[in-house]
Structure 1
C-alpha cells in the first residue's frame, strides 16, 4: 500500500505548505488515474480549489466541492480558451498550473522521426497552449509546473518521445525567463516510470523493457514534488527541472 504523505498530525513544514496553498486556485491539465489525480488530491487536501481537464473528462473518483472536472484537448488552443472561460465564470484569478501532458512510445519503430509532429504536439504544444492562456489569469503571480521525463527513460523510448520530452526542459527554462517579470515561476518534474492504471487518460510512462528491477515511482511521490514546486515553499526556485525516478 502506498504510504500517505499527508498525515493528520501536521508538522511545522506541513502547516507552512498548507498555509501557502489554502485558498489558491489551481489548473491541472491532463488528468488520468495516475500522477494527475494524485496532484489534484494533494492540492485539495491542502485547501486549494482545483479545475482539471482531460480529453475524455473521465471520472477520476474525486468528489469535492472545490473540484471541477472539465473536458478539453490541450493541443487545441480553442479548447483551452473555452476551458479558461469556464474557469473565469467561477474564479477570475488562477494561481497554479500543472501541465501533466505525456504521450509515450517505445523505440521499436524503424521509421525514425515519422511521428515527431504528433509527439511534439502532445508533449510540448499542449503545455505551450495552457501556459499562453492561463498565465494571463495569474494576476497576482503564481507557479507553473510542467511534466517532462527522466532521461533514463530515453534509452528505451522512441526517438520522437525522447526529443519531445527533452524539449519540455528547454521550454520550461525559456518560459521561466519570459514570465519572471510577472512573478510567475516555471519549473518541471522529470518522472521515471510511474505506476498508474493502464487506462489512464494521460499516457504516463510505461516501464521500458530492460529497465531493471527497481520499483517504479508512485503517483504520490511525483505529487509530493509537484506540491512543493507549486507552493510558496519553493518561492526561490524557477527554471529548474527536478528528476523523480529513484535512480532507475
Structure 2
C-alpha cells in the first residue's frame, strides 16, 4: 500500500510531464509467495495509475530488478542462479539507477504503464 499512499500524497503537486517510477521485482513473475504477490500488486497499480493519470500528462512506470549484487544478497543468491542469467552476472545498483534516470527523463516522454525488468535476462516475457 506504500506506493499508493505516496502517490496520493504527491499527486496534488504533480504537473504535466511528471513521472512516477514504482519499485517492483522480477519476483512478480515467479512463484515467490507473498513477496511476489505484493510485487504483482505494484505492477497492476502501475498500469492502472498510468491509465488514470495519463490524461493529466503524468507517466507511471516501474522497475523490476532481478538479482542484484549487494552486501545482503552476496550470501544468499546461489552462483547457479547467476549462471542461468543471460548476461551471467548479477545486476548492480548502477544498472537500476540508469533505468530510473531514463524513466524520469524527457527521453521517456512516450513511455508509460511499463514494468521494465532490469534483470540480465532472468525473466523473458512475450
TM-score range for the pair, normalised by the shorter chain length: 0.7 to 0.9
Deviation of 1:210 (Å): 5.2
Q: Deviations over 1:133-169 (max 9, x none)?
A: 11211134400001111148734x3x10111111111
* Residues 152, 160 of structure 1: alpha-carbon distance in 2 compared, 3 angstrom cutoff: closer
Q: Distance in 1 between matches of 2:80 and 2:10?
A: 39
CA contact (8 A) 2:15 2:57 kept: no
Q: SS at the partner of 1:216?
A: coil
**Structure 2: where are the runs of 5+ without partners?**
none
TM-score by length of 1: 0.43
CA contact (8 A) 1:154 1:161 kept: no
Q: SS at the partner of 1:207?
A: coil
**Structure 1: where are the runs of 5+ without partners?**
1-124
Deviation of 1:209 (Å): 8.1
Q: SS at the partner of 1:144?
A: strand
Q: Distance in 1 between matches of 2:107 and 2:117?
A: 18
2:40 to 148, 166, 179: 166
CA RMSD of aligned residues (A): 2.3
Q: SS at the partner of 2:39?
A: helix
Q: Distance in 2 between matches of 1:239 and 1:149?
A: 15
Between the two structures, name the one with larger relative contact order (CA 8 Å, sep ≥ 6): 2
Which structure 2 residues correspond to residues 129-208 of structure 1 after superposition, within 5 A? 129-151=5-27, 154-155=30-31, 157=32, 159-198=33-72, 207=77
Q: Distance in 2 between matches of 1:152 and 1:133?
A: 25
Deviation of 1:179 (Å): 0.9
